[in-house]
Amino acid sequence: MIRHHVAALVAGILLVGLIPAQDLIRLKGGATFEGTIVEQDASSVVLEFEGGTMTFARNQIASIKVAKDPTRVAAKKALMTLSRFPDHESFHYLYRDGRRVGYRTMSIKREAQDGVPGYVLRDRLVFMERPGAQPDVDLLVSEFVDAELRPLFFSTSVTSGPSSRLIKGDREGLSLVMKERSAGKLYESTALFRKDVEFPRMLLRRLAGEPPPEGGYPEFRVFRPRDATFGRVSLARHVERIGIRGRIRDVLVFRRKLGERLLETWLDMSGHVIREELGSPRLVSLRAAKSEVLGFARGDGGPEGEDLGLEVVSESTGLRFLRPDLAWELIPGERRGAVASLLRPGLRATVDVLRIDNIAKDATEEGIALNVLSRMERQSTEFRSDGAFPARIGDRSGLRWSATCYRRGSRVRTLGALVLDQQGHAFVILCAAPELNFKAAKPAFLELFQSVRFLTPLEDLRDPFDLASGGMDGK
């Protein structure tokens, strides 16, 4: 009998040894929860268990007991050897068409998952109508790679009002097993995950720390956790000196081509994101101070609708357009007829906006455009143009043309546009860049054309108090 009890006791001890050690969280209300702590920061702790995950606010927790798991201890020691990327976090504002619409937080951290040491990158985008408001959309993406930066795991959660969606993916050899939970239903799928596939965010982080190859980068295969799709991306990179938030700094500019879209990511020399176009040049994130962004999230982050100062308004003419981004320097017009100019030093690209007065009453748009092209031809050599054609310029009809020529020994390509305001004044927009840089600058040129609007000129915008004073004086 004793022998049987001893055998049962030994078997029980062996079974306990096979059960993974559990972390224990005790709340101030007395409730306890067991599982594995997978994430924690100064404000919250995330506990994972068989049924899912739970997030606890720090101010709810009375105590935390971390299990002594030999596997975890070994992984923690292995983390000490990872030195490729130090832990880092950054905070950003989100802008759409130059107007602030939310905030973004990014972090890279050394962690161990399932005993494997590596790096986890978390990227959270929060869109809100005003500072401190309930988020309209809250998107959180986590990517985990091993020490060799091979993708192993990802998760994407999207919350919009009462709706939510969670996708998790685990890489098992050459397979990616994905589980999606949405509208109370669970969907599972498996996809082929080739050895050369990378996460896009970690790909840029890796390339920022390596010299570019001669002849440029090859095309990369990527898996985008944000929309859970595979794809290919072409990259080009250069160093550019820019002025941003009052500071002049050198940045690594990566141009990412995904299908027909051409987007930019600016990194500092440590490989951290400063500015990034997200899905479209119209939506960008811009790094800011942590205290500012957290204040905005709480509702005390400054005036609503703060913008980037991208809008250019000529009050005397009523013309309004948008700078494509902060890298384009604004130069007010000084000579007669010049409204404003833009300069992108890194591309040697320019935009000149001109107003033509003293137009004959019977002049046509085609005639004015022909006169402009003739002037361009006289000021250059080997001038060629395909002539002007009807096109939409901002909120009204106008003309567009393209031209090539030699100026100061360089071959230059120009996109031109002509549009008339309601008073019959002609406005000419000339966008030029050296031929080698024209392809990179062209999306910004077209974006500027689309942003053109005409407002009421300054002489028609008298202050209400001035009007009241005028009325009193006239009595």
Q: Which residues pair with 232 in a beta bridge?
A: 221
Residue 170 and residue 124 share a domain: yes
What are the φ/ψ torsions at residue 368 (nearest 5 degrees)?
-65, -45
- Of 258, 293, 349, give the one whose Cα is nearest residue 93: 293
Distance of alpha carbon 230 from alpha carbon 321, whole angstroms? 37
Residue 25 and residue 107 share a domain: no
Residue 237 and residue 192 share a domain: yes
Let me know the angle formed at the C-alpha of 420 by 378 and 326, rounded to the nearest 5 degrees: 80
Examine residue 305 and state whether it is found in any structural domain, yes or no.
no
Residue 385 and residue 260 share a domain: no
Residue 55 and residue 115 share a domain: no
Examine residue 271 and state whether it is found in any structural domain, yes or no.
yes
DSSP code per residue over 156-209 = EEEEETTEEEEEEEEEETTEEEEEEEETTEEEEEEEE--TT-B-HHHHHHHHHT
Examine residue 465 and state whether it is found in any structural domain, yes or no.
no
Residue 426 and residue 287 share a domain: no
Sign of the dihedral through C-alpha 48, 49, 55, 56: negative
Examine residue 1 and state whether it is found in any structural domain, yes or no.
no
Q: In this structure, what CATH number is given to the domain that contains residue 384?
A: 3.40.1000.10
Q: Which domain holds residue 59?
A: 20-67
Counted domains in the chain:
3
Residue 221 and residue 134 share a domain: yes
Q: In this structure, what CATH number is given to the domain that contains residue 37?
A: 2.30.30.100
Residue 396 and residue 366 share a domain: yes
DSSP code per residue over 208-247 = HTSPPPTT-PPPEEEEETTTTEEEEEEEEEEEEEEEETTE
Examine residue 361 and state whether it is found in any structural domain, yes or no.
yes
pLDDT (tens digit, 0 to 9) for every residue of the chain, 475 residues total? 434 444 443 344 333 444 456 889 999 988 998 888 877 877 888 888 766 778 898 989 999 988 766 665 566 666 666 778 889 999 999 998 888 999 999 999 998 888 788 999 999 999 998 888 889 999 999 999 999 999 999 999 999 988 899 999 999 889 999 999 988 889 999 999 999 999 999 999 999 999 999 889 999 999 999 889 999 999 999 888 776 665 667 889 999 987 777 899 999 988 999 999 998 888 999 998 899 899 999 887 555 556 677 888 887 788 888 888 878 888 887 677 788 899 998 889 999 999 987 777 778 889 999 999 999 999 889 999 988 999 999 888 999 999 999 988 889 999 999 998 878 789 999 999 999 999 989 989 998 999 898 875 433 333 333 333 333 333 3
Residue 350 and residue 273 share a domain: no
Let me know the angle formed at the C-alpha of 277 by 275 and 279, rounded to the nearest 5 degrees: 155
CB 320 within 8 A of CB 314: yes
Helix%, strand%, coil% for the chain, nearest 5: 20, 50, 30
Residue 213 and residue 355 share a domain: no
Residue 374 and residue 229 share a domain: no
Examine residue 7 and state whether it is found in any structural domain, yes or no.
no
Examine residue 471 and state whether it is found in any structural domain, yes or no.
no
Examine residue 14 and state whether it is found in any structural domain, yes or no.
no
Residue 233 and residue 106 share a domain: yes
